[in-house]
Amino acid sequence: MEPMNRIPQLIVDVYAYFGLHISTDGWLYLFTVISLLAMLGAVSLFISKNVLGPKITRLISLSKAKWDDELHKHRFFRRIAHIATALILYLIVPILLPENERATLFFQKLVIVYLLLSAVGAGSAILNTIESVYNGSLMAQRAPITGFIQVGKLVIVIVALLLIIANLLDKSPLLLLSGLGAITAVLMLVFKDAILGFVAGIQIAANRMLNTGDWIEMPSYGADGTVLQVGLTTVKVQNWDKTISTIPTYALISDSVKNWRGMSESAGRRIKRAINIDIKSIEFCSEEDIEALSKIRHINQYIARKRTELAAYHQDQNIDIQDLVNHRRLTNIGTFRAYLEAYLRHHPKINKEMTLMVRQLPPTATGVPLEIYCFSADKEWINYEGIQADIFDHVMAMLPVFKLRSFQHISDSARI
């Protein structure tokens, strides 16, 4: 008789030693087997956690690879220990219960369920490791895979669930799969968001529409901030006030989304702001005004060039200086516009390689909008706002120099 096959007789002999006569198909023997299986499982897990665990941890710390650190972080090795324990229990149950087929079958079914659940945990740990390693690579900046990882986990859970049900019912998994066709409509309803999210995830990844770390705006969902996670069914966005907005993944391809990634990857951040000039303050420049303005460094060459150009024009057209209708003269708003463009071209924090202009917009009831359109070389939000504010501080301070006024509504206190 092999040593393992002698275990049931050994148990019976131990009880006989204490004066108890039992059989291998009795309740007392069955209770003893259950206790032994529980103790065996506990000892196996204790050894794997407290004996093998520290050794594995030491080996991982000595390794330079990153993937094993992630496997350890996601408890892959601990879940593998559960699989090993389940296999040991599955093999030893028939040995301990040689004459009780019903109990053997029952306990083996339970062990198989335990094995499948442990396998689900190990598979999930592997997928989490793949996601963590991928997110640390440069490829993560091109396409997120969180949605696909979640699909993988869902598939593992569904397969395990089918196998568990097939194991408990003693049915073939293929037979259960064939029966799922009858409840397809119900499954489509239950997994509607997951299916839509999976399709949306494929389009997002293929077209590089979105990635973690992107700044997006979706006013319909109250989202304006950084993408934290692109999942199978939801996308998490941390708004600038540190609140979290949750958006259905499929909404990213069905609704309007503004992604600021282009700005982040470009060489500058756009400044596009106008100041309204009071129309009543617009006038021709006198000779005294021109002389005073020609002393401004950024505009002296412009004034000299315009003077030469106008003098040549008047001479060619034989226009007298007293001809107020045909005589061309500089205006304070045109000269101011030229000054602002020259000022921006000399500004150290403006990108000169990108579009730079100062333009007039159509007059409105609140004056003539004079718009500055350029790009800040510094894209950091706080720095960008500071640069923009400094520019318009200077613009408003220089208005009186050109005898211009900004338009503003008179407040109640000014009427008193």
Instruction: Measure the CA–CA gap between 67 and 347, rounded to whole angstroms.
Output: 49
Helices (H), 170-294: 173-180, 184-190, 192-207, 251-254, 261-265, 287-293
Question: Which has the closest alpha carbon to 49: 88, 19, 81, 74?
Answer: 81
Rounded to two decimals, the pTM is 0.57
Q: What would be the CATH architecture of the domain defined by 204-265? A: Roll (2.30)
pLDDT in tens, 305-328: 888 888 888 788 777 766 666 768
Domain ranges of the chain: 4-136, 204-265, 269-415
Are 284 and 325 spatial neighbours (Cβ–Cβ below 8 Å)?
no
Instruction: Measure the CA–CA gap between 61 and 372, rounded to whole angstroms.
Output: 57
Residue entry with tokens 């509504």: 409
Q: Give pLDDT, residue 415.
A: 55
Query: Edge-to-edge strands of the sheet including 269-277?
Result: 269-277, 368-376, 357-360
| Residue 271 CA neighbour count, 13 Å, CB half | 31
Q: Give pLDDT, residue 88.
A: 82
Instruction: Measure the CA–CA gap between 217 and 224, rounded to whole angstroms.
Output: 4
Are 132 and 139 spatial neighbours (Cβ–Cβ below 8 Å)?
no
DSSP SS3 for 259 = strand
Q: Give pLDDT, residue 1.
A: 42
Q: Give pLDDT, residue 370.
A: 96
Q: Give exposure, 243-281, as e/b (b: 16+ Cβ within 10 Å).
A: eebebbbbbbbeeebebebeeeeeebbbbeebbbbeeeb
Q: Give pLDDT, residue 228.
A: 87
* Residue 238 phi, psi (nearest 5): -90, 110
Q: Give pLDDT, residue 315.
A: 81
Instruction: Measure the CA–CA gap between 59 and 61, rounded to whole angstroms.
Output: 5
Q: Which residues contact 198 (CB under 8 A, 6 or more apart)?
A: 147, 151, 232
The residue ranges of the chain whose pLDDT is under 50 are 1
Instruction: Measure the CA–CA gap between 245 and 235, rounded to whole angstroms.
Output: 8
Beta-bridged to residue 374, according to DSSP, are 271
Most distant CA pair in the chain, distance: 138
Q: Give the CA distances from residue 327 to residues 96, 319, 324, in Å, rounded to whole numbers and listed in that order.
A: 115, 6, 5
Question: Which has the closest alpha carbon to 403: 285, 252, 305, 251?
Answer: 285
Q: Give pLDDT, residue 308.
A: 87
pLDDT in tens, 249-261: 888 888 888 888 8
Are 366 and 276 spatial neighbours (Cβ–Cβ below 8 Å)?
yes
Instruction: Measure the CA–CA gap between 240 and 94, rounded to whole angstroms.
Output: 62
